[in-house]
Structures are given as structure tokens and as C-alpha cells.
Structure 1
Amino acid sequence: MNIQPPRTRIQRKNTKTILNAALQVFSQHGFRGATLDQIAREAGLSKPNLLYYFPSKEAIHVTLLSQLMDTWLDPLREMKPEGDPVEELLGYVRRKLQMSRDFPLESRLFANEIVQGAPRMQEVLATDLKALVDEKVVIIRGWAKSGQIADVDPHHLIFSIWALTQHYADFDVQIHAVLGPGRDPFAEAEAFLRVLFTRLLAPA
């Protein structure tokens, strides 16, 4: 889908406004439940004005997902083979938790897409994401083989990090309802996950 990049300051501003509005709408209603009318209303623009920038709801959604995916991969890219293995993995846990804290709407957008079968992200998941995970799996296996960490399944280690960090964005309402006021779930989670993964990764 070929979307021409905006050229003027007003075009850049309106494009950003539309994408921010769409993020709110998609993260709340999912792709199927969201409408162009809702996005236009959230953006404070008319529907014809919105359609000047994006030809369809899918074009907006694909643009958001494309921007998100690159950001989503950055924390895993930062894991370095030459670093201390436990600290490199704990650093990844911390960065993923920070993303859940700082980008909760983006996390829910991604989760909604995956739950629906990833119809607009299958190619990226099977290429960019898989290639990066495969690269890090080799590193983790090497650490385990050399005895620097416990012999854990690298794929399921990464899956568990995703599950235990993204949960704090995707189920934010539930977490706050259970914890009650006055508690910082992210600070508590970081301390808890550090202990959990330190023990898991400790060599036998």
C-alpha cells in the first residue's frame, strides 16, 4: 500500500494527529471494532479530511503497526553476546517492562492484532521478528552450553519474558484493581522479575 509521505508542516501535524487518534481507537476497540468515523472524531478532523491522508482504515492500521514493530524489536536487538549473560537477559526483561509502562496503547494494539491472527503482520512476524529471535536463540544456547546460565529452552525463555512483561500493559486495569491504590506495579514487577529470572538462569 503506497502512502505518500507528508511534505508540509500541516500535513506532518495532521498525519501525527490521525495516527495518535487511531492508536487510541484501535487499542480500545481492535481493528474490527474501530471505524473511520471514530478515528476522525478522536482526531478532531472531518472524515473527508482524514481520507485525504489515508485511503482506508487498513492503511492507518498498517502504518501504526509498521512503526510499532521496529520499536518493539529494539529491546531484543540490544542484547549483546559479549555481555554478562544474566545481566544481558535481565536487561532485556527490564527494557520490555519499561515498554509496557511507556507504551501501553501500542502494546494493546499489537496484542489485538496477534489475537485476530495477525492478518496484517504475518510477513513481518515470519521474517524480521523470527530472524531476530533466531539470532538471539543462538546466543542464549551458547551461554547455556558454556555453563554461564542454566540449560533453559531459549525460545520459551523469550516467550516467558514477553508474557511476564507485556501483561502489565495489556491487563493494566486488572492489575490496578487487584493491587489497589498507592502501589507502583512496574517498580514491584521489576524487583520481582529480577529475582525470578536470576534464580531461573543460575547455573546448576
Structure 2
Amino acid sequence: MLSACATSPTPADTPVARTVSIKAAMAEANAAALSGHPDKAYALLKQASATYPADKAPWVRMAQMRFDSNNYGEAIVNALEALHRDPDDTLANSVVAVSGLRLSSKALADLTRKNNLSGTVRTEAQDLARLLRNSLGEEILVPAVRPAPRVVPVKPKASTATTATATTAAATNAKPSGDPFSALK
């Protein structure tokens, strides 16, 4: 009687791990999102990103979902994961840029409201810049970008007669050797 408990389960009793293609996983996640289950869709995308770690598609879709739900911090994190896999992905770059701007705008609005900044636009911007400098402990908020110095090649000024004479003299004084570049030294 005790031996019945010690037997291993039959193959029909064990769950079979199914391997789903990335395309099928994305379709399943999109269907869940369209049916009003964004948490289920996000979980499916998270699972697809673990199953296919080199594929950017689940990360881009998760970033888009978080962006659409105004969760900009997570949208940036997911978009950066997509950019780690494909640095040229336009949608992921856009999500990072716009999410960052929206987070910055919200933070600036909160600072303005918290510190009762009001007045002309210029005065308010100056007060806000001063507040940001004090908060960050920085003298300059945005360092000036200096253009790279322009290098202009300088040609030595020598007359053609002087150059010809120097070349002839070097050829005359040169001793034959096994080094074909000895005349250039």
C-alpha cells in the first residue's frame, strides 16, 4: 500500500513544458492586452523576454505598454533593455526621450508648486534654475558644449628651386645600402 505513493508519476500526469515561438508569445500577449488584461499581457511579455533573452520585441512592447499607462519610469527601464539589444530601435529611443521629458516636466511642475514660484516666465525660470542648482549642489546646470578645435594642415613654405636642390643633394650623398628608405631618414 505504501509502495503506491512511492511510484513516479506517469508521463500523462506531468505538465509538459511547451516551447512557444516569439511570434506566438507576442500574439498571445497582444490578445490579452486587447481583451482588457494588461497585467496578464505584461506577464506573458516578461516570460517571453526570459525565454528569448536576445530578442528586443518583448522589451519594446513592455515599454510601450508602460508608456501608455503613464508609468514612465518603468517605460524607460524596459526601453533601455530593448536598446541594449538594438541600439538603433527608433521606438525604444522615442519612449526613453519622451518619458524622460514627461518625468522632467512633472518634477519641474512639482518643484514650482512646492516652492510657490510665480511671476513672469523669465523670473520663474531663473528661480527654478537657482533652486535646481541649490538642490544639486552644482554651479552650472548644463555645461557649455565647446566645438572641437579645427585642425588646419600647414604646408611649409619652400621655393621649388630650394626643394629641387635639396632632393638632388640627398640623392648624391646617399650611399647604396640594403635599406631602401635610408635616403628618407
User: Fold conserved (TM > 0.5)?
Assistant: no
Report the structure number with the largest CA radius of gyration: 2
TM-score, with normalisation over the residues of structure 1? 0.29
Higher relative helix content: 1
